Chain A
Amino acid sequence: MSPLTTTVHNTGTGPLLRIAGELDYSTAPELRELVTGLPLEPGQRLVLDLAHLGFCDSSGITAFIVARNHALAHDADITLLAAPGPVLRVLRVTGLDQVFSLAPGQDARTERAADG
């Protein structure tokens, strides 16, 4: 199984956290710890890039909620970027698609350029 890998990029509008691999009961605490340590300024936007998230269960969903609470506590916003189909489906079942701002993946060209 592929473990969880995370990389943080600082953009002009706030941190961009790329989450790749598997988010489950064993790896979710790692993400929760990382995300609650991210510095956020009021008005910034925390972006979780899920394009390479291979698996996400309810523990992962809890981690997203923790991230959202962290953003709101700092008067910041949060966006889930490029959630893969299965993750989108969980977000819809749990009604979280109404709570998170969801952004589709950047177009393939930009995505590849970013991955370099």
Chain B
Amino acid sequence: MTCRTGPGPDLPEGRRTAHTDAAFTALLEDSAEELYESAPCGYLSTLMDGTVAKINTTLLNWLGLTRDDVVGRLRFTDLLTVGGRIYHDTHFAPLLRMQGGVNGIALDIRQADGGRLPVLISSVTKTDHDGRPLLIRTTVFDASDRRAYEQELLRERQVAEEARRRAEEDRQRLQEALAVLQSSLLPAQLPQVPGMEAASHYHTASPDRLGGDFYDLFPLDDRRWAFFLGDVCGKGPQAAAVTSLTRYTLRAAALHNPDPVAALTTLNTVLHERYATGDPRYCTAVFGVLEPEGDTVTVELASGGHPPALVLRQDGPTEYLPTPGGLLVGIMPSAPFTSARTVLGAGDTLLLYTDGLTEARTGEKRELFGDEALLDFATTLTDTAPRQVVTAMTGLLNSFGDGLDDDTALLALGVPMTDPTPASDT
């Protein structure tokens, strides 16, 4: 036989067609019966009560049964698994009765060896001339490949779902860890200082980025209290590590020698030694000591590169307490720090803040809010008690909206107007 991949150029059209027809006839010599028996799907005819009247070889092979086992002896539902039988009775059969046909229902059939074969079943009801149902014709398609594919899809979805759940859990854990770390950088709540009132606020620019601002207020002995507030350069875990080191260094230094310049000098030595090489890590800080004397409190503080504290007087001008010349803490082996002193009377408040407040950008031209605008704003405040000052400043911060993209810490320390006992500090 000559092998051709296409019709020969020398073969006339009519002869080519006859040639093809002959080839088809040779291939399709099998009868309709042969097609029925060995079709690539199962065929099944059942009486209206479900008794199997006719079944093809393909389906018998799948079932692992002989024709004699089945025809006239079993019903269609006997071929199904228990679950398949229930589904057949509750859904398949009613639908078939109502519609006269059901298409592509997924069921499992039982095999003689105990296995089960996933199949897709379609049935139509054959009726007589008067429309009375005579029998049910059913085709059965092997759906094991398709089912395996579906199960694979399902499995992959479960894996993806599990991964998503894990990621969510990890995120949650990380968030909790960040919150714990962040809270270790700040006092949970300010202590009650006898004869004084204290208030604070921390504005977090981003919940995902640990902030570098910090403050603290703690007793030195039974009479004096120490406080500090500052800002570590940068953000994130590295900044938080510096913040932590700074907070505990200042606390320890204060107990050793509460002189403000000495405390900042110790911090400078520690930070410079720790971060001498690589990424520069430094902070700005104000450290101070409160010493109550009668109805007043003397404040002795020192600043290292930090914006000046603001003093709000009950019956006097609001003004900055300048600390010029103090250097950023940690960038030089030894650094100058500038001290200042003031006395707070009844109704006076000392406000410490970080530069998120003065570096906020306002207006259409997004200009820095600045220390003059802050002084102007503070001057308008009629109630100079610490809590009221912090509330007003928090309102100011909120008014900046997205002009404020840095963390900001506020710490206000003041002498109450009236009865200067701890009980009044509510």
Residues in A with CB closer than 8 Å to B258 are: none
Judge whether B325 is part of the interface by a CB distance below 8 angstroms: yes
Inter-chain contact B306/A98, CB cutoff 8 Å: no
Inter-chain contact B326/A95, CB cutoff 8 Å: yes
- A99 with B231, Cβ < 8 A, contacts A58-B355, A69-B280, A94-B327 known: no
Complex A-B: 22 CB contacts under 8 Å:
A25-B235, A57-B359, A58-B231, A58-B233, A58-B406, A59-B233, A62-B233, A65-B280, A66-B280, A69-B280, A92-B324, A93-B306, A93-B307, A94-B305, A94-B328, A95-B304, A95-B325, A95-B327, A95-B328, A96-B305, A96-B327, A98-B327
Q: How far is the CB of A89 from chain B (nearest CB, A)?
A: 8
Inter-chain contact A99/B325, CB cutoff 8 Å: no
Chain B residue nearest to A93 in the complex (CB): B307
- In the complex, besides A59-B234, A62-B234, A93-B305, 9 extra interface pairs with C-beta distance below 8 angstroms are A55-B368, A57-B355, A57-B359, A65-B282, A65-B328, A94-B305, A95-B305, A96-B327, A99-B331
- A96 with B325, Cβ < 8 A, contacts A1-B366, A62-B280, A66-B280 known: no
The number of chain A residues touching the other chain, given as a range, is 10 to 19
Residues in A with CB closer than 8 Å to B366 are: 1
Judge whether A42 is part of the interface by a CB distance below 8 angstroms: no
- Annotate A3-37 by CB proximity to B: 1 below 8 A, 0 otherwise: 00000000000000000000001000000000000
Residues in A with CB closer than 8 Å to B370 are: 86
Inter-chain contact A98/B336, CB cutoff 8 Å: yes
Inter-chain contact A65/B324, CB cutoff 8 Å: no
Residues in B with CB closer than 8 Å to A95 are: 304-305, 325-328, 335-336
Tell me the interface secondary structure of chain B in the complex: loop
Residues in B with CB closer than 8 Å to A94 are: 284, 305, 327-328
Judge whether B106 is part of the interface by a CB distance below 8 angstroms: no
Residues in A with CB closer than 8 Å to B306 are: 93
For the complex of A and B, 10 pairs with smallest distance between CB atoms: A95-B327, A94-B305, A65-B280, A95-B305, A94-B328, A62-B233, A95-B326, A57-B359, A93-B307, A58-B233
Q: How far is the CB of B358 from chain A (nearest CB, A)?
A: 9
- A96 with B280, Cβ < 8 A, contacts A25-B405, A58-B231 known: no
Q: How far is the CB of B238 from chain A (nearest CB, A)?
A: 12
Inter-chain contact A65/B331, CB cutoff 8 Å: yes
